[in-house]
Structure 1
Amino acid sequence: MVELKTPEEIVLMREAGRVVAHALEAARETAAPGRTTADLDRVAAKVIADAGADALFLGYHPAWAPMPFPGVACVSVNDEIVHGVPSPRRLDDGDLVTVDCGARLRGWSADAAISFVVGEADPSDLALIEATEAALARGIAAARPGARLGDVGHAIARDARAAGYGLTADHGGHGIGRTMHEAPDVSNDGRSGRGLKLRPGLTIAIEPMLARGGSDGYAHADDGWTVLSDDGTRAAHCEHTIAVTDDGPVVLTLP
């Protein structure tokens, strides 16, 4: 069942979204050669705790996972697309890093992700991140009242596929509100004019995941959580929580 939020509830989600945005920015500022992915997780955890919010990811245990997620943030590096488990792994110059985290504040949730390069960047990695951010922006722009979910997926995939990037199969966005994952599923590929009609009050997380090698395939690491590109090429993942309003889409996870 899809729950539409009131304007007052969307304001509360915006407050949670600010917490998430600040946590992500703190992780980005901490990232440097020699720092560990656990360091990034710790600074994100502190921002969320200092705001009086709860971390959505910590202890999350879907049926397919071998264990509850042990961190506050997913920190994925290079060919790790999403769900990277924070660890003592040290970052190297040129690593492509994705940080994804969520928070619940006063009963309302928000979820977002950013990708960036530590130190000196390979131009191909910067192009990948730019393409992923552009895909996210197109998906957000398509989320207008009266449009369909297929319009969002089509907007994300169209230019990304034309540029030769892969879109990770079986992974995409989701409804969000009282909990992290609500209806509807939000695909990163779709057919225009198909799917759920978007109405004011709908809140969703849109999150394209692009792979540099052009493959949609993936594999799981031994930890059972981390999703890897199946061809070993690097990937990027960007996400915002947004609300569909009478005036168009509003991003809720900006600082």
Structure 2
Amino acid sequence: MTTSPLVTFNDGNTIPQLGYGVWRVEDELAEKTVGMAFEAGYRHIDTAKIYGNEAGVGRAIAASSLPREDMFITTKVWNADQGYEETLAAFDASMERLGLEYLDLYLIHWLQPKQGKYVDTWKALVELQKSGRVKSIGVCNFTVEALQEIIDATGVVPVLNQVETHPYLAQTELREFEAKHNIKHESYSPLGSGQGLLDDAVLKDIAAKYDGATPAQVVIAWHLALGNIVIPKSVTESRIRENWAALDLKLSDEDIQAINALDNGTRFGADPATSDFA
């Protein structure tokens, strides 16, 4: 069976570069789809409190015959739970729903700039890592300025920043800052959230060059080639397996450059620099 490449964090831990995301997967379906992902070869599962499916993911983990050390599980502290003490309590609740003794990666889900609690929230994550209950800590939806602020406040550099990233929003400037600080870049909505990206003629033409490849596989292969960690989501077994098979697709430098040229700043989700929501 094909295995995902491992990416090494700045804290020495590793993460499978290709993971399975469960955003918008109902809790009762999550056990089944995560089980299918495990069978396909995925070992990295990305959930969050706000997804409402941590319990379902936990059931899939419990039902799996895989050793716990072979799995990589991520969840996130939600906006309404930001703050030092609140984050510690939210972590305990997530761990209970997941049924885990330790977590591989805990993330701040959104920056929430107006709320202004992200530094205290980050300090709570630092404490959780020191306790050994979380192996690695990072953030989602953080700007360059906010990344620098939490690094300056604590001396602890996030292992990754998970943000919307796809060929129309390549996040080049952010990725350059992250690379200087050895922060890994993780792409969510990597296939454009069903907003037409996969119908792009450039992606279709590139897919046609590779025997049997799909535009989705081309985009995943592009993320992998850039060094991004990538977490595509599907609830269909055939597509879960199709996405996994992108690991075997190696794009030419010419095709990577053609995909890079599609970047036009189109954002399908909220802007982290300005978004504040509970």
Please report the TM-score for the alignment, with normalisation by the length of structure 1.
Answer: 0.28
More relative contact order, 1 or 2 (CA 8 Å, 6+ apart): 1
Structure (1 or 2) with the larger CA radius of gyration: 2
Judging by fraction of residues, say which structure has more strand. Answer: 1
